[in-house]
């Protein structure tokens, strides 16, 4: 990453799912000294604070296939505007979640500035459900589908016309919990997925090398990293809402971040789904900040 100016944007929303606590993720990550760590690497860090997340007295959107739709739209619209503003200032947006539904806003804000954006989705889940396929109606399982133009119009049009990204520009790394409707969509749209099976067989070095080569072949003009902490094995990141055993190791994750930094292709990033209520002494937030350090150039020697 050549940009030495970083803007931290907090998105303290838990409306994309039903477990409270992930709205405190940005605070937990800040408590783990994210600004200080990045400043020590020579970055000029500006903490933009948190977008405003309202708390309605009565919620009547829980028995639908789009839970908390109104609130998610409001949050993601704000986030889209803020990310676009930061990009317009020539700064690197580093978004702190919040649940993964916030990626709808992040990608919408980025799409205004990139013609052919690439996305690395580091996650145990594909997040490619639509209202028709979602088993839960939780919007944090839908952000990639929304970003390729599938789903409710109020979501897909946030920040401008759909789609925000091309299916062929997406790489999912670490998938191990994929719903039937998502599998069908992956095949239909030709989305590149490296499951834990591929990571075990090929190794993380090969996965990242192939991913970089693939995105270069696609001639992307930027690459966004969306890292869900549940992509990592819950042994290392217990403070997530939807833990899935058998995930990527701590060291494999650092290697992935280090290789992406060496290639200098990441132009924006978000780290999501840190839930301090479910955590052990802020362990998951500490892992998130450590991985940010590796992504942004921290070296062992």
Which residues are known to be catalytic? 100, 123, 125, 127, 140, 228, 230, 273
Helix, strand and coil content of the chain, in percent to the nearest 5, comes to 40, 20, 40
* Distance, CA of 297 to CA of 42 (rounded, Å): 10
Angle between helices 204-217 and 250-263 in degrees, nearest 10 = 30
CB 95 within 8 A of CB 269: yes
* Distance, CA of 153 to CA of 139 (rounded, Å): 13
Following CA atoms 124, 126, 127, 128 in sequence, which dihedral angle do they give, to the nearest 10 degrees? -170
Residue with tokens 């396929």: 133
Beta carbons within 8 Å of 95's beta carbon, 6+ residues apart: 9, 10, 11, 79, 83, 102, 106, 268, 269, 270, 271, 272
β-partners of residue 222 are 117
**How many C-beta neighbours within 10 Å does residue 115 have?**
9
Residue with tokens 């889940």: 125
* Distance, CA of 91 to CA of 193 (rounded, Å): 30
Beta carbons within 8 Å of 249's beta carbon, 6+ residues apart: 232, 233, 236
């Amino acid at each position: 990453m050549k940009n030495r100016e970083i803007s931290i944007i907090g998105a303290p929303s838990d409306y994309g799912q039903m477990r409270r606590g992930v709205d405190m993720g940005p605070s937990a990550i800040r408590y783990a000294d994210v600004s200080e760590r990045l400043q020590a690497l020579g970055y000029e860090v500006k903490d933009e604070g948190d977008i405003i997340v309202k708390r309605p007295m009565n919620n009547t959107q829980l028995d639908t296939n789009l839970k908390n739709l109104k609130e998610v739209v409001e949050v993601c619209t704000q986030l889209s505007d803020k990310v676009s503003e930061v990009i317009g200032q020539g700064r690197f947006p580093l978004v702190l979640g919040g649940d993964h539904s916030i990626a709808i806003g992040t990608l919408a804000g980025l799409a205004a500035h990139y013609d052919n954006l690439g996305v690395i989705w580091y996650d145990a889940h594909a997040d490619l459900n639509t209202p028709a396929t979602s088993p839960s109606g939780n919007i944090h399982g839908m952000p990639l589908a929304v970003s390729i133009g599938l789903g409710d119009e109020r979501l897909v049009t946030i920040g401008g016309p759909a789609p925000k990204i091309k299916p062929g520009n997406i790489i999912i790394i670490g998938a191990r919990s994929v719903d039937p409707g998502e599998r069908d969509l992956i095949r239909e749209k030709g989305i590149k997925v490296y499951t834990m099976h591929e990571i075990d067989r090929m190794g993380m070095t090969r996965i990242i090398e192939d991913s970089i080569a693939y995105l270069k072949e696609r001639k992307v003009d930027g690459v966004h990293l969306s890292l869900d902490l549940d992509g990592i094995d819950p042994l290392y990141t217990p403070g997530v809402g939807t833990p899935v055993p058998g995930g990527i190791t701590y060291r494999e994750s650092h290697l992935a971040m280090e290789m992406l930094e060496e290639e200098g292709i990441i132009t924006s990033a978000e780290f999501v789904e840190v839930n301090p209520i479910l955590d052990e002494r802020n362990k998951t937030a500490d892992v998130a900040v450590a991985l940010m350090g590796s992504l942004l150039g921290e070296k062992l020697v």
